[in-house]
Amino acid sequence: MTEIINCKPIEVCDCGGSIKLTGKIHKHQVFEIPIPRYEVIEYRICKGCCDLCQQNHKGKLPSGVNGKGFGPRAHAMISLLTSKYRLSKRLAKNWFHDVYAMPICIGSLSNIEHTVSKSLEPAHQEVANVIREEKIVNVDETGHKESNKNGWCWITSTMKYTCFFPAQISWKKDS
């Protein structure tokens, strides 16, 4: 429960008598989404100089804070919007503007997608390794064009796991 508001009856009846609470309560719940707003956390990286040897020193960001301008929840939301919900980068940018009034450019969206993809490589490799050990594996492929080049996407799946393997193939003519 986020908030409880007691709605008490009037204190005096139309007849003039006092109204005493009986202890009986009827509950009415209203589900609401919070008003979205983005947070800005400023990290001030302080600089200093040794008073003996004059060597310069600089503070470091805390562990888990990257040098980019967006935090892990923004990374997760961008990944969700552009993968599961299949929004284009432009629509995801508009979504952040419409819902959060948050400034983000399409280039940042691309960079975040790349960062998240890189961070998922170990998990992808782990699933691929497990699939290689399975006795029964289903495989399918489909072709597509990307940047005017032939590309293929293979899917391998077992009863528990599914793994996608996109690849771009450039056909070279024999000399």
Kindly report the number of other CB atoms within 10 A of residue 93's CB atom: 21
Q: Tell whether 153 and 107 lie within a shared domain.
A: no
pLDDT grade for 145, boundaries at 50, 70 and 90: confident
Residue 52: inside a domain: yes
Confidence of residue 16 (pLDDT cuts 50, 70, 90): very high
Residue 168's pLDDT is what?
55
Domain count, the chain: 2
Alpha carbon distances (Å) from 159 to 146, 154, 155, 156, 164: 31, 17, 13, 11, 15
What CA–CA distance (Å, rounded) separates 159 from 29? 41
The 3-state DSSP class for residue 135 equals: coil
Can you give the pLDDT at residue 170?
Answer: 52
| Residue 83 confidence (pLDDT) | 93
- Whether 53 is in a domain gets the answer yes
4 occurs within a structural domain: no
> Radius of gyration over alpha carbons of the chain, in Å?
28
One domain, residues 79 and 145: no
Is residue 158 assigned to a domain?
yes
Looking at the structure, do residues 142 and 99 belong to the same domain, yes or no?
A: no
pLDDT above 70 for 57: yes
pLDDT for 174? 52
Asked if residue 154 belongs to a domain, the reply is yes
- Rounded to whole angstroms, the Cα distance separating 42 from 61 reads 11
Residues contacting residue 34 through CB under 8 Å, at least 6 positions apart: none
pLDDT of 66 > 50? The answer is yes
In this prediction, residue 147 has a pLDDT band, given cuts at 50, 70 and 90, of: confident
- List phi, psi (to 5°) of 77: -65, -40
Confidence of residue 98 (pLDDT cuts 50, 70, 90): very high
Structural domain of residue 91, as residue ranges?
A: 37-130
Q: How many residues does the chain have?
A: 175
Work out the percent of the chain whose per-residue pLDDT is above 90.
74
Q: Are residues 101 and 152 in the same domain?
A: no
Across the chain, what does the average pLDDT equal? 90
* 173 and 88 fall within a common domain: no
Please give the average per-residue pLDDT across 137-158, as a whole number: 87
Does one domain contain both 48 and 117? Answer: yes
Q: If DSSP states are collapsed to H, E and C, what string results for 3-55?
A: CCCCCCCCCECCCCCECCCCCCCCCCCCCCCCCCCCCCCCCCCCEEECCCCCC
148 in a structural domain: yes
